[in-house]
Amino acid sequence: EIVEELIAHLQPKLLRGRRVLVTAGPTFEPIDPVRGLTNRSSGKMGFALARAAREAGAEVTLVTGPVHLRAPRGVRRVDVQTAQQMLEAVLAEVEAADVFIAAAAVADWRPAQAAERKLKKDGSGAAPTLAFVENPDILATVAALPRARRGELYCVGFAAESHDLLAHAQAKRARKGVPLLVGNIGPATFGRDDNALLLVDEREAVELPPAPKITLARQLVGEIARRLGLPCEAD
């Protein structure tokens, strides 16, 4: 614990004076007052990134979906439930940011309408069918902002894939229009304390081998700091 505190304190201040906005966790998309759609994200990677950015001297805001984690010391926390709420919170905060790290596992879809009352079994054995609508794409929305296009806001995306990680990460980087995309094998990493990352930028793909998420977060903060000042354009 004391050693960990010391290590944290001794991190190089690579982001001193920078303002970093991080998203973390899953979103929860209501079906009715009690049920909803979510995913296995624990928020640990996003929280580790917020902590690593803070250790590196940045002023950090963390927008998080429902998780059971305490915010790192010195980090401002904004709690949200749905993708729509996360987008609104991010747009409210991002104007002041120099770096945006989208580590949240945002639901791609939400139920087309949430029922005001709890859905009941009707005794027929027939189950409901649920129609979905696409959620806003938070990362792509932010990456399309003028400040991001001008390179004043550096955008980092995450991809959780169950297969073909490199191809999906490269395609996602181009599609979202971000300079740096970080891939991790979702089902294997969700909820765990360690992880392995694949960094994809316009030139190369670099693997960060399995390590505790806080170690990877510090490495990633180093990679981001090194790239700051480059334009936030994918292609």
Q: Whose CA is closest to 196, among 229, 233, 169?
A: 169
The active-site residue, picked from 39, 135, 184, 195, is: 39
Q: For the CB of residue 33, give the shortest distance to its own copies in the complex, in Å.
A: 4
Is the Cβ of residue 81 or residue 215 nearer to its own copies in the bound state?
Answer: 81
Task: Say how far apart CA 15 and CA 219 lie, in whole Å.
Answer: 13
Closest separation between CB of residue 20 and its own copies, Å?
A: 25
Give the shortest CB-219-to-its own copies separation in angstroms.
Answer: 24
39 carries an active-site annotation: yes
Calculate ∠ Cα 128-85-141, nearest 5°. 105
The nearest distance, CB 41 to its own copies, in angstroms, is: 8
Q: Indicate the residue type of 133.
A: V
What distance lies between CA 202 and its chain's CA centroid? Answer: 20
Helix, strand, or coil here: 82? coil
Contact indicator for 212, 4 with CB cutoff of 8 Å: no
Q: Which is nearer to its own copies, 138 or 224 (CB)?
A: 138
CB of 82 to its own copies, least distance (A): 13
Residue bearing tokens 């990134």: 49
Give the position of tokens 């709890």. 118
How far is residue 31's CA from residue 113's CA, in Å, rounded to a whole number? 7
CB 144 within 8 A of CB 177: yes
**CB burial class (10 A; 0-12, 13-18, 19+) of residue 209?**
exposed
What is the DSSP pairing of strand 29-30 with strand 109-111? unpaired
Question: Smaller CB distance to its own copies: residue 78 or 109?
Answer: 109
Beta bridge partners of 194: 212
Q: Measured from the CB atom, is 8 or 119 closer to its own copies? A: 119
Report yes or no: 3 and 11 within 8 Å, Cβ to Cβ: no
Residues that bind its own copies (CB under 8 A): 28, 31-41, 68, 105, 107-109, 112, 116-119, 121, 125, 127-134, 160-163, 186-187, 190
Active site residues: 39
